[in-house]
């Protein structure tokens, strides 16, 4: 079902369109259900996706390459998310460190099934760039309104990800004989829920609003 709100502020499209928010809501909620059920987030998703082989394929590959289940130090955590958009399937595992209320993203492992990999280098670049774009919004970028006007005016008060804040990124492509599909946008919506789930694993705090901010 689609329920489109009529807002007084005109809005247009953002990279990955509706998946920007639906992936964040859906995959964060799935993680909460897994926690309530007392189950591992990857194992919980595996059961839900048992009849969805392409979702399951990227989930399993990302979890394997990220060493899911291996212990991390205090204040560190892993989070996972998987989402389909533009007929492509992407799973991401984010590793974070939370120190003095600041979220540091250390590593992101991405698995993608976009059908036949026509140009693997382009796929890898788009996965890196799309994830970085989404990470910027998940951590920093926000527009606020005051009496109907946007407060932010330029990059001094509309923060974006800096190059030294980009995590280590690994991209893995699922071998496929399916027709090639999109790679320009599908990496963007997956990082926010993966990151929020990782923050929960590290701190026990559920963050349900973007950009992600820890309680002080």
- Dump pLDDT digits (tens) for 96-130: 999 999 999 999 999 999 999 999 999 999 999 99
- How far apart, in whole angstroms, are the C-alpha atoms of residue 12 and residue 205? 31
pLDDT per residue as tens digits for the range 142-194? 999 998 899 999 999 999 999 999 999 999 999 999 999 999 999 999 999 99
- CB environment 138-169: b (16+ within 10 A), e (fewer): bbbbeeeeeeeeeeeeeeeeeeebeeeeebeb
Task: Determine how many CB atoms are found less than 10 A away from the CB of residue 88.
Answer: 25
- Give residue for tokens 């030294």: 164
């Amino acid at each position: 079902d689609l329920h489109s709100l009529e807002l007084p502020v005109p809005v247009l499209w953002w990279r990955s369109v509706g998946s920007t928010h639906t992936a964040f809501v859906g995959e964060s909620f799935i993680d909460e259900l897994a926690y309530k059920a007392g189950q591992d987030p990857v194992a919980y998703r595996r059961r839900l996706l048992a009849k969805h082989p392409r979702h399951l394929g990227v989930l399993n590959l990302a979890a394997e390459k990220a060493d899911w289940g291996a212990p991390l130090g205090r204040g560190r955590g892993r989070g996972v998310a998987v989402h389909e958009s533009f007929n492509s399937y992407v799973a991401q595992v984010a590793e974070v460190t939370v120190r003095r209320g600041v979220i540091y993203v250390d590593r992101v492992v991405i698995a993608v099934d976009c059908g036949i990999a026509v140009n693997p280098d382009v796929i890898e670049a788009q996965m890196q760039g799309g994830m970085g774009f989404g990470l910027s919004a998940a951590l920093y970028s926000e527009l606020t309104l005051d009496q109907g006007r946007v407060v932010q005016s330029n990059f001094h008060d509309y923060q974006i990800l800096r190059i030294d804040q980009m995590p280590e990124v690994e991209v893995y492509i699922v071998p496929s004989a399916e027709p090639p599909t999109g790679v320009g946008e599908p990496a963007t919506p997956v990082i926010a829920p993966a990151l929020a789930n990782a923050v929960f694993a590290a701190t026990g705090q559920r963050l349900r609003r973007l950009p992600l901010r820890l309680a002080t």
